[in-house]
């Protein structure tokens, strides 16, 4: 197959099959808005405002880094003599000792590898030196990385217009030139292979390739070895090497850089294949894990990870991280075409330095978090760089209340998730904001003989409890996912046909998208088949909805606006689920029906389902659905004998007379309407009396099943059978 080329002369990693043509040189003068404005953070009256989202997951992953109060800052492209020029500079890689920068530039006509050195990590680099033959050739070379001892160089060379290969060159000492380069045949195999990177221990070679076995376009692959004396002989996608890793995606995942402790994996997307959630062009991303034996989880944008923005609306990618990071003063290098760039692309440097850091801890009483919750917030972990002092602490407590001071106490009276924000200011003045979500849950209680549990993993935990003559439910759960459910379910297991009923009242609280009602489902698995009759809140009205999942496909049918309170019923009749509604609980109207394929053993769950329409943001506010219902009941389907309208356990002329009396003389109602429906047409009328008489006296044949012996009505209709005493349970 023909693999796409990285085409490093383009303004970013280009789309497949785009030709390699030299772009017009960019002017050296700054263009457009400032880099600060482009990144979405503006300066106002000398106060620089930074915003950091300290989500629970990020705090757990990054506490050993962020606790230092540091961030990548002090961005500059003035990093040494003739490092950046009017040419294109590309793919910087810093050595393990921080003293050598290897990069690629087309200043000589084609892309060659250059090496620049410095005496200490705090200095600028000396004028770079072309690495010359046999490393550089008449074709293009880029992304060169050195082993920790400086004796081995891995780099990428253009094989033809559509193919890049990984090469290796060695030398006898750090002062000697590199010898003849060797093409790493085992790793190339006719596919684009680029963006090589070496782990700090030298035992893992990372590279990017679009070959089969990956997730999408170019993915990050790993080649491990046992010792530095061994060859890199095998390679596999990151998610195969570390099962459960979520870095590789349907987008370009390129230019990896692994921290020395291997807890952080930095990488880039590309202009032609940008990840959602970025700045719109190529961005730097980072995946963080707490232990090296864990997979790399879903990555976050560098602007989320770093307290100050790195990514801009321009292209920012091809990162190389200092192996001394996160030591204060350590650096990272990347390429960008942001304002201030000399040529088409420049190498930029950011330094890990102390910055103003907002930080706070939270203690809840009760620790279970059930409302009312007393919260104590402590901002004493906030820090500011040496030579400055903290001047103010401003709290937004998420429920409309505000406060000032290092320590704050507050009570959350109602259930919900509250977005608490602390903004600290120093005497520069500079400000920083930290956020946490505080959740006050509902306590829950006894619902026997029902069972109450969450389906899926709602961020806000649901609960239910008996409340007077009814049941109260408190629920979170997202509604914007179709393959798996998130809801709270008050249910019972039923072995056959059954009927569930409830009176739905106006909820105490619910937001647009919130829904609750009756549900029949195959199991507690989030992707199980189900059918449900629900009331759902819209912006201006409440609607009656019939939702169901069959063979993994979710469907919904709206049945228009409705008013509460409302009685609803859902029945399982063989393979069909029938939904009904009633204003008074006695006269029922069919709403919808659907055949649902449940488990083969026939056992299903039935009961009350509630979903609060949470968007699932741990740092976002959320008001749960809180509702009270009455009349919640579930009963197994009643078996009966067809034609026994008066429930006497005998089929005779008295059944026809009883039926006619009910229809025309306002006599007693039938305990089992299905039994009186002698012709099984779903209605009670004079034709049923005639059918009984025909069977008894005119030899018209037997009545429809169940006839003679007990059974259920296999024909779905709106008739009900509340009581028939002569059949076994």
Q: What average pLDDT does range 216-238 have in this prediction? A: 91
- Quickly list DSSP for 116-136: EE-SSTTSPBPPPEE--TTTS
| Domain ranges within the chain, ordered by starting residue | 43-342, 361-440, 451-636, 638-729
pLDDT in tens, 340-381: 999 889 999 999 998 899 999 999 999 878 999 999 999 999
- b/e 611-623 (16+ beta carbons within 10 angstroms → b): bbbbebebbeebb
The pLDDT confidence band at residue 215, using thresholds 50, 70 and 90, is confident
Give the per-residue pLDDT at 313: 94
The pLDDT confidence band at residue 601, using thresholds 50, 70 and 90, is low
pLDDT in tens, 442-470: 999 999 999 999 999 999 999 999 998 89
- b/e 97-116 (16+ beta carbons within 10 angstroms → b): ebbbbbbbbbbeebbbbbbb
The two three-digit tokens of residue 153, written as one number: 């160089």
Give the per-residue pLDDT at 267: 96
Q: Are strands 576-582 and 589-595 parallel, antiparallel or unpaired?
A: antiparallel
CA distance 200 to 95: 10
pLDDT in tens, 293-325: 899 999 999 999 998 899 999 999 999 999 999
Look up the pTM and report it.
0.62
CA distance 448 to 523: 19
Least confident of 209-218, 619-628, 671-680: 209-218
Give the per-residue pLDDT at 441: 96
**20 to 103, 282, 342, 405: CA distances (angstroms):** 20, 19, 22, 59
Here the contacts of 56-65 (C-beta below 8 Å, separation 24 or greater) are 56/436, 56/437, 56/618, 57/297, 57/618, 58/288, 58/300, 58/304, 58/305, 60/290, 61/288, 61/289, 61/290, 61/297, 62/288, 62/305, 64/326, 65/264, 65/326
CATH number of 638-729: 1.10.1330.10
Give the per-residue pLDDT at 482: 75
Percent share of the chain, pLDDT over 70: 90
The two three-digit tokens of residue 713, written as one number: 């009505």
pLDDT in tens, 475-491: 999 987 778 999 999 99
**658 to 132, 349, 646: CA distances (angstroms):** 107, 93, 6
CA distance 116 to 100: 6
CA distance 341 to 27: 8
Residue 248 has pLDDT above 50, yes or no: yes
Fold of 43-342: Tachylectin-2; Chain A (2.115.10)
Q: Are strands 373-378 and 300-301 parallel, antiparallel or unpaired?
A: unpaired
The pLDDT confidence band at residue 600, using thresholds 50, 70 and 90, is low
Residue 714 has pLDDT above 80, yes or no: no
pLDDT in tens, 369-423: 899 999 999 999 999 998 899 999 999 999 999 999 999 999 999 999 999 999 9
In degrees rounded to 5, what are phi and psi of residue 546?
-110, 115
The pLDDT confidence band at residue 729, using thresholds 50, 70 and 90, is low
Closest to 104 in 3D by CA, of 136, 127, 133, 148: 136
Hey, what CATH class is 361-440 in? Answer: mainly beta
CA distance 576 to 554: 16
pLDDT in tens, 59-105: 223 333 444 478 899 999 999 999 999 999 999 999 999 999 999 99
- b/e 685-695 (16+ beta carbons within 10 angstroms → b): eeebbbbbbbb
List, in sequence order, every beta strand (DSSP E) within 23-138: 43-44, 47-51, 70-76, 89-94, 100-105, 112-117, 129-130
Residue 216 has pLDDT above 70, yes or no: yes
CA distance 492 to 262: 48
The pLDDT confidence band at residue 602, using thresholds 50, 70 and 90, is confident
- What CATH architecture does domain 451-636 belong to? Sandwich (2.60)
Q: What average pLDDT does range 112-133 have in this prediction? A: 95
Give the per-residue pLDDT at 593: 95
CA distance 337 to 240: 35
The pLDDT confidence band at residue 586, using thresholds 50, 70 and 90, is confident
Give the per-residue pLDDT at 9: 28
Closest to 571 in 3D by CA, of 674, 490, 499: 499
Give the per-residue pLDDT at 573: 83
Bond into 716 cis (ω within 30) = no
Contacts of 391 (CB under 8 A, 6+ apart): 425, 426, 427, 429
Give the per-residue pLDDT at 332: 96
Percent share of the chain, pLDDT over 90: 70
Closest to 348 in 3D by CA, of 332, 360, 363: 332
Mean predicted lDDT score pLDDT of the chain: 87
Residue 432 has pLDDT above 60, yes or no: yes
> Strand order of the sheet with strand 89-94?
89-94, 100-105, 112-117, 129-130
Q: What average pLDDT does range 653-671 have in this prediction? A: 92
CA distance 688 to 401: 68
């Amino acid at each position: 197959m023909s693999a796409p080329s990285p085409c490093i002369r383009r303004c970013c990693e280009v789309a497949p099959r785009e030709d390699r043509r030299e772009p017009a040189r960019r002017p050296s003068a700054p263009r457009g808005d400032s880099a600060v404005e482009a990144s979405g953070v503006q300066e106002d009256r000398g106060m620089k405002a930074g915003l950091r989202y300290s989500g629970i997951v990020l705090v757990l992953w990054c506490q050993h880094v962020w606790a230092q109060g540091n961030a990548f800052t002090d961005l500059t492209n003035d990093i040494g003599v003739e490092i950046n020029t009017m040419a294109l500079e590309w793919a910087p890689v810093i050595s393990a000792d921080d003293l050598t920068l290897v990069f690629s530039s087309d200043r000589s006509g084609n892309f060659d590898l250059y090496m620049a050195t410095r005496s200490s990590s705090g200095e600028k680099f000396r004028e770079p030196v072309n690495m010359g033959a046999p490393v550089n050739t008449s074709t293009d070379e880029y992304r060169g990385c050195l082993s920790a001892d400086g004796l081995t160089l891995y780099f990428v060379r253009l094989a033809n217009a559509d193919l890049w290969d990984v090469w290796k060159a060695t030398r006898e000492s750090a002062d000697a030139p590199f010898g003849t380069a060797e093409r790493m045949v085992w790793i190339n195999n006719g596919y684009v292979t680029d963006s090589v990177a070496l782990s700090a221990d030298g035992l893992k070679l990372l590279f990017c390739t679009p070959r089969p076995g990956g997730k999408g376009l170019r993915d990050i692959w790993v080649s491990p070895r046992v010792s530095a004396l061994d060859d890199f002989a095998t390679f596999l996608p990151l998610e195969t090497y570390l099962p459960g890793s979520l870095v590789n995606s349907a987008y370009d995942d390129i230019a990896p850089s692994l921290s020395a402790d291997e807890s952080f994996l930095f990488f880039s997307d590309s202009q032609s294949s940008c990840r959602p959630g970025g700045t719109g062009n190529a961005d730097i991303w980072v995946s963080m894990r707490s232990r090296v034996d864990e997979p790399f989880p879903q990555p976050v944008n560098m602007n989320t990870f770093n307290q100050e923005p790195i990514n801009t609306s321009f292209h920012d990618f091809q990162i190389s991280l200092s192996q001394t990071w996160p030591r204060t003063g350590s650096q990272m290098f990347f390429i960008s075409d942001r304002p201030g760039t000399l040529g088409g692309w420049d190498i930029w440097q950011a330094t890990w330095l102390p910055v103003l850091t907002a930080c706070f801890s939270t203690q809840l009483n009760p620790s279970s978090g059930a409302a009312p919750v007393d919260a104590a917030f402590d901002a004493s972990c906030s820090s500011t760089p040496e030579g400055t002092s903290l001047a103010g602490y401003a709290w937004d407590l998420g429920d409309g209340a505000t406060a000032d001071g290092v320590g704050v106490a507050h009570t959350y009276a109602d259930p919900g998730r509250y977005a608490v924000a602390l903004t600290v200011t120093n005497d520069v003045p500079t400000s920083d904001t930290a956020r946490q979500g505080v959740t006050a849950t509902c306590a829950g209680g006894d619902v026997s003989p029902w069972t109450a549990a969450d389906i899926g993993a709602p961020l806000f935990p649901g609960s239910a409890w008996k409340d007077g003559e009814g049941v109260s439910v408190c629920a979170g759960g997202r509604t914007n996912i179709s393959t798996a459910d998130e809801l709270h379910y008050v249910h019972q297991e039923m072995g056959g046909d059954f009927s569930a009923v409830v009176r739905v009242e106006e909820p105490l609280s619910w937001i647009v998208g919130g829904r609750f009602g009756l549900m029949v489902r195959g199991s507690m698995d989030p992707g199980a088949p189900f059918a449900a009759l629900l009331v759902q809140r819209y912006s201006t009205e409440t609607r009656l909805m019939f939702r169901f999942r069959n063979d993994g496909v979710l469907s919904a049918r709206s049945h228009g606006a409705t008013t509460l309170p409302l009685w609803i019923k859902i029945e399982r009749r063989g393979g069909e689920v029938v939904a009904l509604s009633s204003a008074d609980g006695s006269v029922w109207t069919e709403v919808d029906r659907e055949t649902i394929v449940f488990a083969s053993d026939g056992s299903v769950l039935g009961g009350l389902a509630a979903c609060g329409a949470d968007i699932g943001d741990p740092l976002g506010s959320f008001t749960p659905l809180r509702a009270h219902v009455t009349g919640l009941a579930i009963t197994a389907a009643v078996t009966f004998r067809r034609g026994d309208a008066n429930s006497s356990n005998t089929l005779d002329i008295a059944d026809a007379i009883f039926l006619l009396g009910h229809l025309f003389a306002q006599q007693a109602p039938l305990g089992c309407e299905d039994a009186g429906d002698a012709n099984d047409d779903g209605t009670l009328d004079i034709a049923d009396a005639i059918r009984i008489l025909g069977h008894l006296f005119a030899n018209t044949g037997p009545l429809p099943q169940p006839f003679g012996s007990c059974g259920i009505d296999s024909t779905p209709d709106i008739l009900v059978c509340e009581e028939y005493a002569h059949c076994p349970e």
